[in-house]
Amino acid sequence: MFSLPHPRRRIAAALGALGAALALTATTAAGASAAPGPDRDRVEIEPGEAYMGVGTRIHEGAPAATPLGALAPTDGVQGIDVSHWQGAVNWTSVRGAGVQFAWIKATEGTTYKDDRFNGNYPAAYNAGVIRGAYHFALPNASGGATQANYFAANGGGWSRDNLTLPGVLDIEHNPYGAMCYGLSTTQMRGWINDFHTTYKARTSRDVVIYTTASWWNTCTGNWTGMSAKSPLWVAHWTSASSPTVPSGFPTWTVWQYTSTGSVSGVSGNVDRNRFNGSRDRLLALANNT
């Protein structure tokens, strides 16, 4: 049984003007509101409670105050990502607000499954949201192959049903300790490759990689080894017209452009994402066509 010995870390609560502005542009009046969820910006992160972007918040802080630019990416094919931190989600309202896709936290390490996953995953599907699962990586806990098997067996599977995206490897700043989990760049590359190889053997799909430019460049040494295999989901909370892409990738497939967005059907902050292409291309990613 893996346990994390690191001390608790408190997440910064500051929210920038970007988040407030995006919330105004993204919120829709239609649809019922979900019951309030826990406040992920004012809690101590315990083992199993990590979510997309938490490591970046802890190591780099909340988004700086940035005015909403004219080219802020609130158009195009929009998506969200959620975990238990969002509480109950009204997926019918989410879809009605124009959200077309979502990734939902399934697992972390090899001992944690998100307690909202079993409700969120089928509910999103039934509402017509193209959805997939994500795994929060803990490379210092066990091998990449071990964690890929755990993910595939606990929600990270895939089927060609027009509404299921390939799974995501969320690999970012360690929210529980040292940024690169104590691994060298060579060890980290091997870990990621083992995860990818095992996940593909289990599901037939290339795993999507979620990361930031700063983490990838530092912890993998600008590695190019995944650029021809895995679609890139890059986190860059900015009002610019495009994100900063890790040195190891030529372009981005999905962009998480804010961690403090808002959408009908979700209470409180939610990560907002944009797909780099049309809905037809999103469906091609989902269906592996």
Pick the catalytic residue: 81, 108, 114, 271? 81
Q: What size, in residues, is the chain? A: 289
The answer to whether the Cα torsion of 83, 87, 90, 94 is positive or negative is negative
Neighbours of 204 (CB within 10 A): 11
Q: Based on the residue annotation, tell me whether 39 is a catalytic residue of this protein.
A: no
Locate all alpha helices (DSSP H) within 204-241, ordered by sequence.
Answer: 213-219
How many Å is the maximal CA-CA distance in the chain? 49
Measured CA to CA, the distance from residue 80 to residue 69 in angstroms comes to 20
For residue 127, give the DSSP letter: T
For tokens 């970012």, the residue is 172
Measured CA to CA, the distance from residue 13 to residue 33 in angstroms comes to 23
Do 232 and 256 touch, CB atoms closer than 8 A?
no
Phi then psi for residue 175, to 5 deg, are -75, -10
Measured CA to CA, the distance from residue 150 to residue 120 in angstroms comes to 19
Pick the catalytic residue: 49, 108, 172, 271? 172
Measured CA to CA, the distance from residue 164 to residue 243 in angstroms comes to 25
Q: Based on the residue annotation, tell me whether 271 is a catalytic residue of this protein.
A: no
Pick the catalytic residue: 108, 114, 170, 271? 170
> How remote is the C-alpha of 264 from its chain's centroid?
19
Q: Based on the residue annotation, tell me whether 81 is a catalytic residue of this protein.
A: yes
Contacts of 4 (CB under 8 A, 6+ apart): 47, 138, 141, 176, 177
Provide the annotated active-site residues: 81, 170, 172
